[in-house]
Chains A and B, each alone.
Chain A
Amino acid sequence: MSLAEKILSAHADRRKVSPGEFVSVRVDLVLANDITAPIAIREFRKIGVKKVFDPKRIVMVPDHFTPNKDIASAEQAKMMREFCYEQGVIHFEIGQMGIEHVLLPEQGLVLPGDVVIGADSHTCTYGALGAFATGMGSTDIAAAMATGYIWMKVPPTIKLVYHGSLGKWVGGKDLILYTIGKIGVDGALYSSMEFTGGAIDSLSMDGRFTMANMAIEAGAKAGIFRVDNKTQLYIKSRAERSYRVYEPDNDAEYTRIIDYDVSDIEPQVALPHSPANAKSISQLGDIEIDQALIGSCTNGRLEDLRLAAHILRGRKVHSRVRCIVIPGSQQVYLDALTAGLIEIFIRAGVAVSTPTCGPCLGGHMGVLASGERCVSTTNRNFVGRMGSPQSEVYLANPAVAAASAIAGKIISPDEL
């Protein structure tokens, strides 16, 4: 069995599961946010149970339109908060919260071998920890909150093997954009992606979170990494419950095995309006920008901020450009502050924000006007994603976003 099949069979109390089978799976953690929780709560009430199955295994994070951007958003956050108080469900208030997929691993709430479902498509981020984590809708979350179980169709697995060592400005973001550029936005539809190979072994945990985060942009149900020493080190100080590490079998069946030699790849930029429009940065030509956004569940972790600060140190953001940095959590913010990164940003002319998903989905804190262009470390560049349907989003890694903020156009850090 593949890694996904191993985890799902254990949670379905089955010795073996096969792709295509429908199974009822025990969930270790259930997640919702200020946009998806209101519908989940409404549907939960219809089921007629008084209590959730286990309040310590349900987390609700107000992160999308918070700190509340308008009255309607405030009402949604309020409804979610009141439900959490009533049920004893874990809730991170403003001041403690972070972007859910940065926050939950950091707080030790997700551990290897877990099955996690979240009413947010980027729930697949936790695959970096060797968990089977997948996004679902609000009604699925309502059912899981009532029962502690969810139905799943066991996905087939695609194995992706990354050979070689990564170039200077190349990281997890570039690997996943490169991959989606090759296989397309439905290249892993309904499948689990299993990421392996020498380049993956050398990738940091933050880089792995970035890759797993964007598995959904290839249509995948999950994107999973094997647990190694780096994972164990990350978990060690955080885990407060027991967990189990699963390994894929040697004779696991894969629908495809894809090999990439990534030694020579350049930083990748995905052009509007699809994450699959990935190009090597040297092929771009001159693309002027109005905004550079560094943050999100994809690239809002400490390593990302370090990289951006490394480039911005002693330099100035271009006078025509708004550069916005959003630390992914209060802890990331504090660590960045202690490390002096925040001062570097402010001296460079960067606007630093409290954690929020905000601009990534055109909510607030950096929405684009018509004709405007943003280079962004986020995960989606669909039409209208960051504001006006006539605006454009270019997806890139934090080093490229920072260098571009300085140059006023999309460039490689090498060109500074």
Chain B
Amino acid sequence: MITVICGKEKGGHRLKLKGKVHKYGANVDTDAIIPARYLNVSEPKELAKHCMEDIDKDFVKKAKSGDVIMATTNFGCGSSREHAPLAIKAAGISCVIARTFARIFFRNAINIGLPLFECAEAVDNTENGDVLEIDLSSGRIKNLTRKMEFAAKPYPDFMAELISANGLIEYTKRVLAERRI
């Protein structure tokens, strides 16, 4: 196991971010993240206008660049639509922290470069509106409001490799290049 290295900036600098928490409960589904009625387009900026609309209609107004979405269990359940992590990312959200994620959402987020952290301790000790500081490379999560610190579950090696390749498309390019050698 190695530590989380997602969200690395170009040049490999460690990336720390600070943002306010928008906290939700269990089983936030992809219809809640981006309702299907808006899926007649796939541009992330267009999708972002309707992010979380049906369960939190002011989310887009409230969310500031760098903010964090937090939820309890099974975040992103339902449809396979990649539009869901694309909408969250384009809404300015820097990462999502939950106890557990639905599996297709988890893959999609990693593939498109939206960092996710599984950290039950952080979820249990953070309230809506708290400010977090997150070290994307180590998975250390600081709750600045409550002066507490948590460690996210590390990614398995293979996923860390995918993330360090900057997502699945770049990883696939590399695999294809190796095949040609």
Q: B76 to nearest A CB, angstroms?
A: 10
CB of A120 closer than 8 Å to a CB of B: yes
Asked, given contacts A139-B111, A382-B78, whether A186 binds B27 with beta carbons under 8 Å apart, the answer is yes
Complex CA gap A46/B113 in Å reads 15
User: Which residues of A are at the interface with B, using a C-beta cutoff of 8 A?
Assistant: 22, 35-36, 38-39, 42-43, 46-49, 64-65, 69-70, 72-73, 76, 118-121, 123, 135-140, 142-143, 146-147, 151, 153, 185-186, 189-190, 216, 219, 221, 274, 361-363, 367, 380, 382-385, 387, 389
27 A-B contact pairs sorted by A residue (CB < 8 Å): A35-B81, A36-B81, A39-B83, A39-B86, A47-B172, A64-B39, A65-B40, A72-B40, A72-B41, A118-B80, A119-B80, A137-B81, A137-B82, A137-B107, A137-B108, A138-B82, A140-B111, A143-B172, A146-B172, A185-B27, A186-B77, A186-B100, A361-B36, A362-B35, A362-B37, A383-B54, A384-B35
Complex CA gap A136/B104 in Å reads 6
User: Contact size class for B?
Assistant: 35 or more
Report yes or no: A185 in contact with B80, Cβ–Cβ below 8 A.
Answer: no
List the A side residues contacting B133 at CB < 8 Å.
none
List the B side residues contacting A43 at CB < 8 Å.
169
Report yes or no: A137 in contact with B42, Cβ–Cβ below 8 A.
Answer: no
Q: Which of A36, A72, A367 contacts B82 (CB 8 A)?
A: A36
Number of A-B residue pairs at CB separation under 8 A = 141
**Nearest chain-A residue to B85 (Cβ)?**
A137
Q: Which of B79, B112, B159 contacts A121 (CB 8 A)?
A: B79
Report yes or no: B37 in contact with A73, Cβ–Cβ below 8 A.
Answer: no
**Nearest chain-B residue to A367 (Cβ)?**
B37
Q: Which of A136, A361, A389 contacts B107 (CB 8 A)?
A: A136
List the B side residues contacting A143 at CB < 8 Å.
168-169, 171-172
CB of B29 closer than 8 Å to a CB of A: yes
Q: B166 to nearest A CB, angstroms?
A: 11
Report yes or no: A219 in contact with B102, Cβ–Cβ below 8 A.
Answer: yes
List the A side residues contacting B181 at CB < 8 Å.
none
Complex CA gap A84/B32 in Å reads 31
List the A side residues contacting B102 at CB < 8 Å.
186, 189, 219
CB of B173 closer than 8 Å to a CB of A: yes
* Interface flags, B103-140, vs A, CB<8A=1, else 0: 11001100110000000000000000000000000000
* Interface flags, B167-181, vs A, CB<8A=1, else 0: 111011101100000
* A-B interface, 4 closest residue pairs, ranked by CB to CB distance from nearest: A137-B108, A72-B40, A137-B82, A361-B36
Complex CA gap A47/B54 in Å reads 35
Report yes or no: A39 in contact with B42, Cβ–Cβ below 8 A.
Answer: yes
* Interface flags, B6-34, vs A, CB<8A=1, else 0: 00000000000000000000010101100
Report yes or no: B176 in contact with A47, Cβ–Cβ below 8 A.
Answer: yes
Report yes or no: A76 in contact with B80, Cβ–Cβ below 8 A.
Answer: no
Report yes or no: A73 in contact with B40, Cβ–Cβ below 8 A.
Answer: yes
List the A side residues contacting B144 at CB < 8 Å.
none
**Nearest chain-A residue to B44 (Cβ)?**
A39
Near A by CB (< 8 A), chain B positions 67-82 give 73-74, 77-82
